[in-house]
Structure 1
Amino acid sequence: MSYIKVTENVYAITDGSTVGNVCAFELPTQLLFVDSGMNPKIVESFRSDLEKQTGKKTTTLIITHKHADHVFGNQAFKDCRIISHRDTKQRMIEEKERWTEERLNELKKNAVDSSVYDGFEIIIPKETFETKLTIEDFDIKILVRNTGGHTTGSSFVYYPKAKAIACGDNFFEGVFPWAGDETADPEAWIAAIKEYLALDVEFVIPGHGKVCSKVELQKWLDYLEKAVILIRKMNTQGFSEKDIIKKLNELEYYPPKNEQHKELSLKRWYQVITGRS
């Protein structure tokens, strides 16, 4: 595990060792983490190292959305406030029932080091918010806001003084994202990225990939807007789902890691947009 110092008081693991990115904001009297990734042992080490380095205790974990690769390290924060959007907590409760012993054993089997899941627990957020939440520590404010997009519960965490934003999976750097969640909404996603771009941000921490600038956010927004316009236009003209998906695949953007995931994502967008037409 190696973490980077993004800027003053902002740290992150973005090398893929935790699958989903994990970041930490240093405040005047405490540490606040955003997402917990999927490797409890690495996250425990990250937390421990930062606490020793800063001399501050971790008080809070903010969860950006419900997916396993962002919440399966939650047990490293059992003694902290664990906060998410209301919908994220509810869906985690529902999905916890689906994580049977058989599925967890399969997860361990496929892990590079199965020992990282020894004593594994799925920890549900303890606190929730509806629209937004502000965390204050002396003169420092952290803004947490729900936007939807990747999932209904998708939220961002913004550190104004550091000019840093943790986007969760509303932004994947350098790759086509997974966008096929049953609650994914491309129009809410567009609104979310526009909101990020309107903030005073220099450091964009994606849910997956390297820290980057607003330039990459703008590329993602441009692609999303083209995709939604194309779906609407072709649907109005009477084209089939198959024809529309084929045309969407011709739009220029970063390639996916998994072609099937991209196909499912585009189908989800088609369903959402045509369902509103």
Structure 2
Amino acid sequence: MIQYQSEHVTVFQSALYQTTSTVIQTKEMVLIVDPNWLPDEVEAIKQYVNTIKGERDTYLLFTHGDFDHIIGYQAFPDARVIGSSGLHHQSEKEQTLQMIREFDNKHYISRDYPIEFPRVDIVIHKDGQQLRLGDTTMTFYLAPGHTEDGVITVIEPLGIMIAGDYLSNFELPFIYQSAKAYMQTLEKADRIFAAHSIQLLVPGHGQTTADSSEMKRRLDMASDYLNRLCEAVLINNECALDALYKEHAFLSAFTTACHKENVSIIRSEFMGG
């Protein structure tokens, strides 16, 4: 379904995990971000892009390489792919593809495009790297922590921030790579807000917002949660850890596993085991 729409931006939201897919159109190009999940959802995005693109070039931006975010890659075979150096050099490509195959097989899903890992045409190597297309400028910031290969993108002059799996309105931090790097990415997000006039924030899961106070609330929420989680792990406060787990939305076996992974990574990074 379409969660948000304006003259230049359309944000689709999957029925699964409230995952977003964003289409941005400017005079010069059409940018598609993380097309996902289900075949009908990907097809709706594809049809919309075909309706609006005309003679404009299409670009496909992946915020990171989690399987749910790359699942629609080959539905757009003519698009130029933008991704981080970490995505380009991803060492677990086959494991990621196997997760897609297992998901599709488990749910009896067939797709009309091949399942492949993105081949990156425009590689983002460093913070502040830019891609200029006419009057449109995309500025990229490496965003490790959730995964090693994350990237946050600011699109100007529209003032759009594509945050990937950060700054959700409901989803607390899931640390798959590094708690320290996650904290640094949140600090970087704060600097991005200061350096750019962000008019619209699009998270990888959850609601798009144009409210600057809501953007700050999300940043503060994630930072506060990580700080309290680290403190609870360091002093081995099981009651606090249990209470922190219960702050997650949609409690399930999935959130249980993510919480345990958060605790395990923090112990490893801050306590050596």
Contact 1:6 1:203 in 2 (8 A): no
Aligned-partner Cα distance in 2 for 1:14–1:30: 22
SS of the residue aligned with 1:60? strand
Residue 221 of structure 2 corresponds to: 223
Contact 2:3 2:207 in 1 (8 A): no
Aligned-partner Cα distance in 2 for 1:106–1:208: 22
Aligned-partner Cα distance in 2 for 1:155–1:202: 19
Contact 1:11 1:25 in 2 (8 A): yes
Residue 87 of structure 2 corresponds to: 88
Q: Which moved more, 1:68-77 or 1:186-195?
A: 186-195
SS of the residue aligned with 1:182? coil
Aligned-partner Cα distance in 2 for 1:158–1:272: 33
Residue 176 of structure 1 corresponds to: 172
Residue 46 of structure 1 corresponds to: 45
Q: Structure 1: which 5+ runs fail to align?
A: none
SS of the residue aligned with 1:151? coil
SS of the residue aligned with 2:92? helix
Residue 202 of structure 1 corresponds to: 199
Contact 1:25 1:31 in 2 (8 A): yes
Contact 1:78 1:123 in 2 (8 A): no
Which of 126, 149, 155 pairs up with 1:131?
Answer: 126
Aligned-partner Cα distance in 1 for 2:223–2:256: 22
Residue 157 of structure 1 corresponds to: 153
Identity %: 16
Contact 2:154 2:162 in 1 (8 A): yes
SS of the residue aligned with 1:46? helix
Deviation at 1:85, TM superposition (A): 0.6
Contact 1:10 1:25 in 2 (8 A): yes
Residue 9 of structure 1 corresponds to: 8
1:122-150: per-residue Cα shift (whole Å, max 9, x none)? 13232322114322222221222212232
Is the aligned partner of 1:72 residue 2:71?
Answer: yes
Residue 121 of structure 1 corresponds to: 115
Contact 1:176 1:257 in 2 (8 A): no
Question: What TM-score, normalized by structure 1, do the two folds share?
Answer: 0.80
Is the aligned partner of 1:107 residue 2:103?
Answer: yes
C-alpha RMSD over aligned residues: 3.0
Residue 267 of structure 2 corresponds to: 271
SS of the residue aligned with 1:75? helix
Is the aligned partner of 1:144 residue 2:143?
Answer: no
Deviation at 1:21, TM superposition (A): 1.2
SS of the residue aligned with 1:84? strand
Question: What TM-score, normalized by structure 2, do the two folds share?
Answer: 0.81
Contact 1:35 1:64 in 2 (8 A): yes
Aligned-partner Cα distance in 1 for 2:226–2:215: 17
SS of the residue aligned with 2:138? strand
Aligned-partner Cα distance in 1 for 2:223–2:159: 26
Q: Structure 2: which 5+ runs fail to align?
A: none
Deviation at 1:51, TM superposition (A): 3.2
Deviation at 1:17, TM superposition (A): 5.9
SS of the residue aligned with 2:69? helix
Deviation at 1:218, TM superposition (A): 2.2
Residue 30 of structure 2 corresponds to: 31
The alignment covers a number of residue pairs equal to 265
